[in-house]
Amino acid sequence: MRPPLISLRSATGGVVRTADGYADITVDRLDDLVRLLLLTGRQTLLGDPRFRTRTARAAHRAALAAEIARELSPMPTDECVGLLTAAGIRASACPPPLPPSRTPPLEPRPMTADISTDKRGPLAGVKIIELGGIGPGPFCGMLLADLGAEVIRVDRPAEAGRPNSMPVLHRNRRSITVDMKNPVGIEAIRALTDTADAVFEGFRPGVAERLGLGPDDLIARNPRLVYGRMTGWGQDGPLADQAGHDINYIALTGALHAIGPAETPVVPLNLVGDFGGGGMLLALGIVSAVISARATGRGQVVDTAMTDGSATLLAMMYGFMAQNLWTDRRASNLLDGGAPYYGVYRTADDKHMAIGPVEPQFYSNMLDVLGLTDDPDFAGQNDRAKWPVMKDRLSAVFATRTRDEWDKEFDGRNACVAPVLSLLEAPHHPHNAARGTYRTGAHGSPEPAPSPRFSGTPAAEPTVAPVVGAHTDQVLADAGLPADRIAALRAAGAVK
């Protein structure tokens, strides 16, 4: 007897095998599943403890979906579609879905080959599917790929064949274009995740579920799969479904309030929310969950919110406040520009020097270079009453020479003083050049090199960001799809 259920995606629909074909059903609400029960004459199932209440149905919706699929399977496709359409439930005949790939074994697998010789990075052997997005998601993908993970980015078919718009953030990837509005395309993505260690997305809450690519859908097929989610507000909470950007998220957590002069907060690029509290934290979460899955055989969801992440970055400040060592006023504390010896000063050529001699010995070295050792106003480093006078004096002294002249004066003096370099200047500084902090990308411009550095499993040289969709056929073939199946996907417009 052939199995009736191919994949009815919880409360979002799916593909059901009928007596003579397949039907694609879209279920907008969990209550629609109950209506389907009534339509198919299985109302007695509502007495089952699993389905008796709305809460119970939500917890066992996959089982509920399976029961409904069993009732629909004996019907011819036309009859099934007609019945559902008449009841106001969207349904249509569809081609056969792709067969699910075999779920990988649950035994732990080594992260890499021989650690003494492997030059592919510490995450070699980890396979990750990136459902294309912008900002923190691609940054997470770059970090993981830089460290050796195989990252496959799923892009939109409309962009197929175009040069990559993000030559740095999208490096080290393979790119496949799949139509996520096409049921057959969804099955192609599922086939990829069946053998992956992790998948991550940056959609608004609920979107992945409506597509049939939510964690319930994918982890049911691959129990060891790690499912990463990247949002600004998180998967729940009063603002979860609201639009926003980095600046909004860090505003809500206190981070934006804490940065800048006393008069007004300063926009710190989108480093705090998008990248530090977003993509980088998602990468850490995914790696942590993959380690857990390899030990336990069980995947899980990693809910990464930029609000949570930017709050985490404030841990030290909250710790200081708990000890009455930090005030909730901008530019009045040790590390926020309040202290005269931790800040930025303009030079004679309208450039800047950054100073941070917090420790007394470095503070003394700075005063020596500036000729202020005997100035009584600087005798008490932490005399807050003198801080305004000290700031004015430092401003006047730094304004007497150019940035590069001061840089030479402080060279080798161990005073925690450095020139403020522009984005184009930074790659050419002798220290950055010696360490290879930057590299020249295939696009001909500087880009940051992979970091951190590993002694036993160093990262390989990054590969160029691919033309969008450049690897579609190759990735699908690697997933076990034969050439005729790939051709059928192209003919159906599911991939390009």
What residues act catalytically? 245, 274
Quote the Cα angle for 202-204-207, to 5°. 100
CA–CA separation, 430 vs 418, rounded Å? 13
CA–CA separation, 466 vs 166, rounded Å? 10
For residue 272 the two structure tokens come to: 């705090």
CA–CA separation, 139 vs 276, rounded Å? 10
CA–CA separation, 376 vs 358, rounded Å? 18
CA–CA separation, 487 vs 496, rounded Å? 10
Q: Is 345 helix (H, G, I), strand (E, B) or coil?
A: strand
The dihedral built from the CA positions of residue 113, 115, 118 and 121, taken in this order, carries a sign that is: positive
Length of the chain, please?
A: 496
* 8 Å CB contact between 100 and 78: no
Beta carbons within 8 Å of 91's beta carbon, 6+ residues apart: 23, 24, 25, 26, 80, 81, 84, 85
DSSP letter at 273? I
Residue 438 CB-density burial (10 A; 0-12 exposed, 13-18 middle, 19+ buried): middle
H or E stretch at 440: strand 438-440
